[in-house]
Amino acid sequence: MVVSLAVESPRALSSRERTVVLLTCCLSVVVAGLDTTIANVALPSIQKALHAPVSGLQWVVDAYTLVIACLVMFSGSVADRFGRRRVFQVGLGLFSLGSLLCSLAPSLGALIVFRALQAVGGSMLNPVAMSIIATTFTDPKERARAVGAWGAVAGLGGASGPVLGGLLVSGLGWRSIFWVNVPVGALAIYLTRRFVPESRAARGKRFDPLGQLLVVTALGPVTAAVIEGPRYGWSSPLISALFVLGAVSVLGLVVHESRRAGPLVDVRFFRSPAFSGAAVIALVAFMALGGFLFLNTLYLQDVRGYSALGAGLLTIPMAAALAACAMVSGRIVAARGPRLALVLAGLLLAAGSGLLVLIGRDTGAWYLVLAYLLFGAGFGLVGTPITNTALSGMPRDQAGVAGAIASTCRQTGAVIGVAVCGSIVAGGSAGFVASSHTAMAVLAGSGIVTVLLGLISTGRWARAQAGRSGRQLSTHTVEEPR
């Protein structure tokens, strides 16, 4: 049966109440963004304490981002069905519990498992916060500014991770990087319960276990293959089988979701060039960030001999540029649309990564700071226009799922960045520095792709198609029995 789905929204909020909701979402997203990057600066300490190989360090990072990538769409649809505030609080609770267990992990294997538990909770934070903001701020310009502020805070949380991590690791040891999440998570739970109104889609989707399984078997095996390829050999039966399983799962996911009413991954979203372009831009931009952070912390500490604190302090310019440009990006998008911000972001990402292609063992600190400034500015600019473009023309009822798909692409990009860059340096025979040049060249290419897709996905034709796709989604949604 064809029906039009309305969204069950919270009551109309005053300007002050909307601000409190935004601040609450920002607080919760800080811990998620912080945990994505804070572990990087602790990797050398974890490596020594737990006797971890490079592949083990990749799993410490990717266990978190991979699980989020696999579950974030499911979490978005669950939030739309059962209530965004409720799911948000559950996510904060699991995230805080996982953080506490990570701080107590007795071995590398246990740490990886507890990082995955953290990520189960983390998958319920960013996309649900985005949908809460989308349903709270209904005016397009207000929403753009709110998303810009949210992106700035999320970016600041991620960018401050290396600095805060350096302080904690140098003063209290690597386990302390997980302690900070517990009190912040508890405060966020209280504020959410106190200030965030409940909202949900009027018609929730039925669960899609096969679709969820296919998402896991599409992302997990490919990540494992890329990380373990240097160890087992790229032509080994195990690695080949993992790549084949991933490819078959992607094909199966497209076929299954195209035929299912109320799918986990609504492939109709990708009929919008704006949405598809934003999804790929999110993938390549976060690939650049994930790869950059992984390589940079190993370079500064293992190659240059900086302490964890010294490495964190050296990246302060990147954090400052990221936070400042994230705020500027929201204003640019609100005033002129997403195109300018995307093009500038891609150029700066390419320039920052390109400078790092030339680094050596004795490269001056001023050169590194310049590269960090360019890279941080580029990444700060990219978040808001990605979100704005992804939600362009989308009905409010689909905000949770659309936002979750965009978040999946972000997390998948970070997973790929760590896996690819880690494998390049692990499999390189010329040493870390020479191998990192190849990896940085790959990341510079991500910036160029961002520029090209930014131009394509924000053009007049793409905007018209986005509006048409949004109207189709709004008026031709299939109601599936509960």
**DSSP secondary structure string for all residues of 137-196:** --SHHHHHHHHHHHHHHHHHHHHHHHHHHHHHHHHH-TTHHHHTHHHHHHHHHHHHHHHP
| pTM across the whole model | 0.79
**β-pairing verdict for 2-3 and 7-8:** unpaired
Q: Distances from the Cα of 357 to the Cαs of 269, 362, 371, 418, 440, in angstroms?
A: 37, 14, 10, 17, 5
Phi, psi angle pair for 36, to nearest 5°: -70, -30
The pLDDT, as a whole number, for residue 21 is 81
d(CA 144, CA 138): 10
Length of the chain: 482
Angle between helices 15-50 and 126-136 (to 10 degrees): 170
Q: CB of 157 within 8 A of CB of 319?
A: no
- Both structure tokens of 307: 């302490």
Q: CB of 449 within 8 A of CB of 413?
A: no
CA geometry: angle 230, 34, 41, nearest 5 deg:
50
Cα 154 versus chain centre, distance: 10
Quick one: which of 74, 60, 42 has its CA closest to 116? 60
d(CA 471, CA 480): 19
Q: CB of 149 within 8 A of CB of 26?
A: yes
Q: What stretches of 364-428 adopt beta strand conformation (E)?
A: none
Q: CB of 325 within 8 A of CB of 377?
A: yes
Tens digit of pLDDT per residue, the chain (482 long)?
Answer: 333 334 455 556 677 777 878 888 888 778 777 777 788 888 888 988 998 888 888 899 888 988 988 888 788 778 877 888 889 899 999 999 999 999 999 999 999 999 999 999 988 887 788 778 877 777 777 777 787 777 667 766 766 777 888 888 888 888 998 988 888 888 888 888 887 878 776 666 677 888 889 989 998 898 889 888 888 888 899 999 999 999 999 999 989 888 887 777 777 777 777 788 888 998 999 999 989 988 988 899 888 888 888 888 888 888 888 878 888 888 888 788 888 899 999 999 999 999 999 998 889 999 999 999 999 999 989 888 887 777 665 656 566 566 667 778 888 888 888 888 888 888 766 788 888 899 999 999 999 999 998 888 777 766 666 556 655 555 555 444 34
CA geometry: angle 410, 411, 414, nearest 5 deg:
90
Cα 374 versus chain centre, distance: 20
The pLDDT, as a whole number, for residue 61 is 87
d(CA 358, CA 29): 35
Residue type, 346: G
Q: CB of 63 within 8 A of CB of 326?
A: no
Which residue(s) pair with 3 in the sheet? Answer: 477
Q: Distances from the Cα of 296 to the Cαs of 22, 308, 409, in angstroms?
A: 32, 12, 23
d(CA 264, CA 403): 13
DSSP 8-state assignment for residue 106: -
User: Containing H/E element for 449?
Assistant: helix 432-457
CB-based contacts of 327, cutoff 8 Å, min separation 6: 148, 149, 152
Which residue(s) pair with 200 in the sheet? Answer: 8
**β-pairing verdict for 7-8 and 200-201:** antiparallel
The pLDDT, as a whole number, for residue 462 is 62
d(CA 51, CA 42): 13
CA geometry: angle 85, 90, 92, nearest 5 deg:
95
The pLDDT, as a whole number, for residue 3 is 33
Q: CB of 66 within 8 A of CB of 219?
A: yes
Q: What totals of helices (H) and strands (E) does the chain contain, helices first?
A: 18, 4
The pLDDT, as a whole number, for residue 112 is 93
The pLDDT, as a whole number, for residue 478 is 43
CATH architecture, range 14-196+260-478? Up-down Bundle (1.20)
User: Containing H/E element for 2?
Assistant: strand 2-3
Sorted by where each begins, the domain ranges of the chain are 14-196+260-478
